Amino acid sequence: MTTTHILGYPRVGEKRELKFALEKYWKGESDVNELRHVASEIRQKNWTLQQDNQLSFATAGDFAWYDHVLGTSLLLGHVPKRHQNGTPDLDTLFRIGRGQSQSTCGCAGHAASDMTKWFNTNYHYLVPEFSSADTFELSWTQLFDEISEAQAQGHTVKPVLLGPLSYLYLGKEVEEGFDRLSLLPKLLEAYQAIFAKLEQLNVEWVQIDEPILALELDAKWLDSFKGAYQTLQTNLKLLLTTYFDSITDVLPTITEINVDGLHIDIASSPEQLSTVVDALPAQWVLSAGTINGRNVWRANLVEKLAALQDAKAKLGDRLWVATSCSLLHSPVDLDLETKLSTETKDWFAFAKQKVAEVNWLAKALDGDAQAIAYCEQYSQPIIERSKSTSVNKESVQRRIAGLTAKDAERSAAYPERAHHQKEVLKLPLLPTTTIGSFPQTSDVRKTRAAYKRGDISTAQYTEIIQGFIKDTVERQEKIGLDVLVHGEAERNDMVEYFAENLAGFQTTQFGWVQSYGSRCVKPAIVVADIEREHPITVDWTTYAQSLTDKPMKGMLTGPVTILCWTFPREDISRETITNQLAFALQDEVSDLEAAGINIIQIDEPAIREGLPLKARDHQHYLEWAVNAFKVSAASAKPETQIHTHMCYSEFNEIIDSVAALDADVITIETSRSNMELLNAFEEFNYPNEIGPGVYDIHSPNVPEVEWIEQLIEKAATRIPVERLWVNPDCGLKTRNWSETEESLKHLVEATQRLRTKLA
Ligand code: GLN
Ligand code: ZN
């Protein structure tokens, strides 16, 4: 019989129970027992589900109070110095995740650890901090307690553990000149102690995650695997687990590692299956990660079954069936969706449904006739969908098929455009502007919610939102900004708003996925060819423009960002989806322009995070991503000024592509790094205009005029002053009005001082 398992299940709960319990606890409105109770109920439900679906194992160790990498740090007794204070408890864990301000503990404050993206997902983990004095010591019993808890409920438990090399690799040194890999021997002692405890708990298999094997590792890291796993002596069976990309490059290294099996992700790279099957050491099992843990689509089980047949014939019961990665990255339960049509609902599978898919697929693989029939029937809706004309729209496909290099080019090059734009816009030296959103007050949010519920009519809604726009425009005029925005009061989220207004997307009620800590996101799903059926932003923007003589900047979310922050289709490429979005946005650009809007910003904050895991795949991605952005802007006349915005600071890697976007103006985040980012522009002569963010909107602090002045001067040493803009770091939606107005007044004053100085 085929062995089945999943790599992990969402821990937030089907209705985000953990989120609400955590936030209640943090506010002091509940005690730790209540919090623990909610968590154990979630775990119990998750394990029961795996049992009900006859999986061979219930996976434990996938639960995390805040983040599983942070959980691993606690397990290893590896707590940053500033957070050490006796035996760590849950509050220690939360402090590392969330930080603690001066006011609450009376000392200098305990900054949270850095957070960064978990590989190429939208999940964020807490970065372990390493220095030479670090020690590892087991005192945190969560993993062992949860294994016992599951066993007490009658489950055969397979714990999951982040492996030692990935744990080290994903962290960072906090000591000058220190190499964290030198901690490996000490760390292995701790893993050895963990293994001893797992043996005592009568665990047979352990899923040891080493996802870094799917990266292009330096020899130094790669060569450490063999020795490390040789050192670990255990009677446990280890399933070396990889995901998110292919590992065939490093297969010779992997097969030398002292483990008992390998898990590979064949949802992200199906082609690696046969190579791995042929190279698999004779005693190993192979866990085939077939059911995609990162998307919401129902699996075509007929196809999946066919893809596994050959491996099954060669490996027999040594072939296991599994999800590609942890289901952490998919929403929890499709059954909760009451507003989807039956047709649409049959296209999807969330975490709960994916567990069932694993079971049916394995049964079918074992030749169970009922399971085979089920797989056929289950796959029908997906197969029919691929032929449907409401999914595959002729008009959209014709446009994509006709896409040529010309569609991505504006009618004039930047120097000529800049000349026209100067004439039309008549902007002063160092023009000032903002990134788009203004404070989303509770009135703003309440208005949108009331409209969504149907409590107010469209006419009423329009009038109230126009009121917010008018107020926002008046405030900007008073502050003295040069290029104004309408403020985005109608948008809950920069991607969701466009997903709701373009044809081809489906939104859900409960499709939440953990992003970090208690924070979840609910991405829309691309379900069909994307079309713009009506103008989206034109009315709001022209209304705003009618209130002022200053230029009003139209505000769009770029095609790559929309792609990165939604669940994509799997039946067409990400490139094709992005091109469809690009054409839809191009039409919006044309309509804004025709309505008299002379400046249009197309935000692309996600362009960098869309990068594939392996550097060798970067170029291809960047080419089509840049091209799609350019298509969205290409219809703009030379005198229309196209802006773009990106808010992260690791720019160096993609600077050529950023320049290749050929936006007339780019605004970027720099203030937190004290303009360090501009070093990237030192060697690279950025050809167009640029607005390095001069203050950090993530903090409530109001920046001093002198401080801003000095930052602009610093920027002017790298970018010719004629091509410099002055603006905050990012959108202001999370700030309140008084901070915002004060900060922007300082920004304008600093700019004026410099203009006088330069004149
Ligand atoms: N225009 C958006 C805003 O101002 C940009 C947000 C972002 O960069 N993430 O909110
Ligand atoms: Zn931003």
Q: Is 733 in the pocket of ligand 1 (CB under 6 A)?
A: yes
Q: CATH number of the domain at 493-667, please?
A: 3.20.20.210
Measured from the CA of 491, which atom of ligand 1 is nearest? 10
Q: Angle at CA 205, nearest 5°, toward 201 and 209?
A: 110
**Cα separation, 383 vs 368, whole angstroms:** 22
Q: Is 730 in the pocket of ligand 1 (CB under 6 A)?
A: yes
**Cα separation, 518 vs 534, whole angstroms:** 36
**Cα separation, 298 vs 7, whole angstroms:** 18
Encode 596-631 in three state secondary structure: CCCEEEEECCCCCCCCCCCHHHHHHHHHHHHHHHHH
- Does the annotation place 478 within a ligand binding site? no
What separation in Å is there between the alpha carbon of 127 and the centre of ligand 2?
A: 22
What separation in Å is there between the alpha carbon of 460 and the centre of ligand 2?
A: 31
Q: CATH number of the domain at 3-386, please?
A: 3.20.20.210
- Does the annotation place 436 within a ligand binding site? yes
Q: Is 605 in the pocket of ligand 1 (CB under 6 A)?
A: yes
Evaluate if residue 327 carries a pLDDT over 70: yes
What confidence tier does 672 reach under pLDDT thresholds 50, 70, 90?
low
What separation in Å is there between the alpha carbon of 347 and the centre of ligand 1?
A: 32
Contacts of 430 (CB under 8 A, 6+ apart): 712, 721, 724, 725, 726, 751, 754, 755
Q: Is 494 in the pocket of ligand 1 (CB under 6 A)?
A: yes
- What residue ranges in 205-284 does DSSP mark as E strands? 205-209, 237-241, 261-265
**Cα separation, 276 vs 81, whole angstroms:** 43
Q: Mutation test of ligand 1: which of 490, 494, 495 has the most ligand atoms closer than 8 Å to its C-beta?
A: 494
Q: Where in the chain is the domain with CATH 3.20.20.210?
A: 3-386, 427-490+669-679+688-758, 493-667
Q: Is-contact 258 229, C-beta < 8 A?
A: yes
pTM of the predicted structure, to 2 decimals:
0.95
- Does the annotation place 19 within a ligand binding site? yes
Q: Is 16 in the pocket of ligand 1 (CB under 6 A)?
A: no
Q: Mutation test of ligand 1: which of 437, 556, 647 has the most ligand atoms closer than 8 Å to its C-beta?
A: 437
Picking from 363-377, 626-640, 681-695, which range would have the lowest pLDDT averaged per residue? Answer: 681-695
Closest C-alpha to 290, from 310, 316, 263: 263
**pLDDT on residue 100:** 79
Closest C-alpha to 645, from 581, 558, 732, 562: 558
Evaluate if residue 107 carries a pLDDT over 70: no
Q: What is the DSSP string of 184-200?
A: HHHHHHHHHHHHHHHHH
User: Which secondary-structure segment (H or E) carries 286?
Assistant: strand 285-291
Q: CATH number of the domain at 427-490+669-679+688-758, please?
A: 3.20.20.210
Q: Whose CA is nearest to atom 9 of ligand 1?
A: 605
Q: Is-contact 76 24, C-beta < 8 A?
A: no
Q: Is 486 in the pocket of ligand 1 (CB under 6 A)?
A: no
Instruction: Write the pLDDT tens digit of every residue in 153-165.
Output: 999 999 999 999 9
- Does the annotation place 730 within a ligand binding site? yes
- Ligand in nearest proximity to the CA of 730: 2
Q: Is 435 in the pocket of ligand 1 (CB under 6 A)?
A: yes
Closest C-alpha to 43, from 57, 60, 23, 66: 60
- Ligand in nearest proximity to the CA of 693: 2
Instruction: Write the pLDDT tens digit of every residue in 521-577.
Output: 999 999 999 999 999 999 999 999 999 999 999 999 999 999 999 999 999 999 999
- Ligand in nearest proximity to the CA of 669: 2
Q: Is 433 in the pocket of ligand 1 (CB under 6 A)?
A: no
Quote the tokens at residue 453: 């519920």
Evaluate if residue 501 carries a pLDDT over 90: yes
Q: What is the mean pLDDT of residues 614-622?
A: 96
What is the set of active-site residues? 698
Q: Whose CA is nearest to atom 1 of ligand 1?
A: 436
- Does the annotation place 99 within a ligand binding site? no
Contacts of 27 (CB under 8 A, 6+ apart): none
- Ligand in nearest proximity to the CA of 558: 1
Tallying the residues shown for the chain, one arrives at 759
CB-side neighbour CA atoms (13 Å) of 299: 32
Evaluate if residue 481 carries a pLDDT over 90: yes
Task: Give CA torsion, residues 36, 37, 39, 41, to 10 deg.
Answer: 160
Contacts of 160 (CB under 8 A, 6+ apart): 7, 8, 59, 60, 61, 62, 206, 207, 208, 209, 241, 326
**Cα separation, 324 vs 265, whole angstroms:** 5
What confidence tier does 104 reach under pLDDT thresholds 50, 70, 90?
low
What separation in Å is there between the alpha carbon of 647 and the centre of ligand 1?
A: 8
Instruction: Write the pLDDT tens digit of every residue in 340-362.
Output: 999 999 999 999 999 999 999 99
Measured from the CA of 645, which atom of ligand 1 is nearest? 8
Report CA-CA distances (Å) from 393 to 181, 386, 497, 529, 535. 53, 11, 22, 6, 19
**Cα separation, 441 vs 256, whole angstroms:** 58
Quote the tokens at residue 129: 């901090």
What confidence tier does 596 reach under pLDDT thresholds 50, 70, 90?
very high
- Does the annotation place 668 within a ligand binding site? no
CB-side neighbour CA atoms (13 Å) of 391: 19
Distance of CA 384 to the CA centre of its chain: 31
Evaluate if residue 179 carries a pLDDT over 70: yes
What separation in Å is there between the alpha carbon of 495 and the centre of ligand 2?
A: 13
